[in-house]
């Protein structure tokens, strides 16, 4: 990423005070979030894990209102609640709701990381390019993960042979699930703010259900359809004012084109 910035002549030097903020951003996410989620899901059922993670937009909206002073319209509040309810309905019908205190604590850490990331990165998006933010975030994130990796899995990793397919999978996850996802999400936070952006995370189970239906042939029941509908409805409600403005601009453009 740093090489890409140099080649494309989009290099931005960060102020020293912003470097400290960037280090905190990377500590929140990916470090805290992925550690919390990966460890937490081992001690709770997948359904319970989905429900707990789905509360991220709620806490993100509260944090954005309290700390960043983002204005929360009735549509945003209603959209967050309806969307989270939809994820809850989908998850409730997919298996047992079991959890241990250890698992809940790890997932709470993941939620804390996700919310903290949004609150800390938002001011940086108004000052630096997305590529700059993701490059520094990936660099500091790698520094945080490296000692943990060496202590926990280092001996095993270097003692076994690795297939080309396995290494390709790791590279693909790094490019798409990490760099690609953070690049797009950072752009969304810049454009929409923290509260409206985090509600899009509830689309993850929606895509999971739809892809599982088409690729794996898994059935979709009435409860799942209801959950999907509520999740999408919540997303539309949260973005209602923005969608209304886009429609007005489109209609205005149509009128101008007709008169000319």
Q: pLDDT of 125-138, one tens digit each?
A: 999 999 899 999 99
pLDDT computed for residue 128 by the predictor: 92
The alpha helices in 153-180, defined as continuous H runs, are 154-159, 164-172
Report the predicted TM-score, pTM, of the whole model to 2 decimal places: 0.85
- Answer yes or no: are the C-beta atoms of 18 and 64 closer than 8 Å: no
Query: In a 10 Å sphere around its CB, with 0-12 CB exposed, 13-18 middle and 19+ buried, how is residue 158 labelled?
Result: exposed
Answer yes or no: is pLDDT of 175 > 90.
no
pLDDT average, residue stretch 70-85: 90
pLDDT computed for residue 211 by the predictor: 83
Query: How many Cα neighbours within 13 Å face the side chain of 39?
Result: 17
Instruction: State the chain's mean pLDDT as an integer.
Output: 86
- Answer yes or no: are the C-beta atoms of 47 and 91 closer than 8 Å: yes
């Amino acid at each position: 990423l740093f090489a890409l910035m140099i080649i494309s002549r989009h290099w931005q030097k960060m102020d020293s005070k912003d470097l400290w903020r960037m280090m905190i951003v990377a500590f929140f996410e990916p470090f805290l979030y992925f550690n919390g989620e990966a460890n937490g899901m081992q001690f709770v059922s997948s359904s319970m894990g989905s429900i707990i993670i789905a509360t991220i937009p709620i806490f993100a909206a509260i944090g954005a209102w309290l700390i960043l002073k983002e204005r929360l319209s009735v549509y945003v509040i209603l959209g967050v609640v309806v969307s989270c309810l939809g994820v809850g309905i989908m998850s409730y019908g997919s298996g047992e709701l079991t959890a241990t205190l250890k698992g809940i604590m790890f997932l709470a850490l993941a939620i804390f990381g996700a919310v903290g990331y949004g609150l800390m990165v938002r001011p940086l998006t108004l000052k630096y390019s997305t590529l700059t933010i993701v490059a520094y975030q990936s660099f500091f994130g790698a520094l945080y993960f490296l000692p943990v990796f060496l202590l926990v899995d280092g001996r095993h990793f270097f003692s076994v042979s690795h297939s080309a397919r396995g290494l390709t999978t790791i590279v693909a996850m790094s490019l798409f699930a990490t760099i690609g996802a953070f690049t797009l999400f950072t752009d969304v936070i810049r454009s929409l703010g923290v509260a409206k952006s985090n509600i899009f995370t509830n689309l993850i189970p929606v895509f999971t259900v739809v892809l599982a239906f088409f690729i794996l042939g898994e059935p979709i029941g009435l409860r799942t359809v209801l959950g999907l509908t509520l999740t999408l409805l919540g997303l539309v409600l949260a973005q209602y004012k923005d969608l209304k403005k886009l429609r007005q601009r489109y209609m205005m453009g149509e009128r101008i084109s007709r008169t000319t």
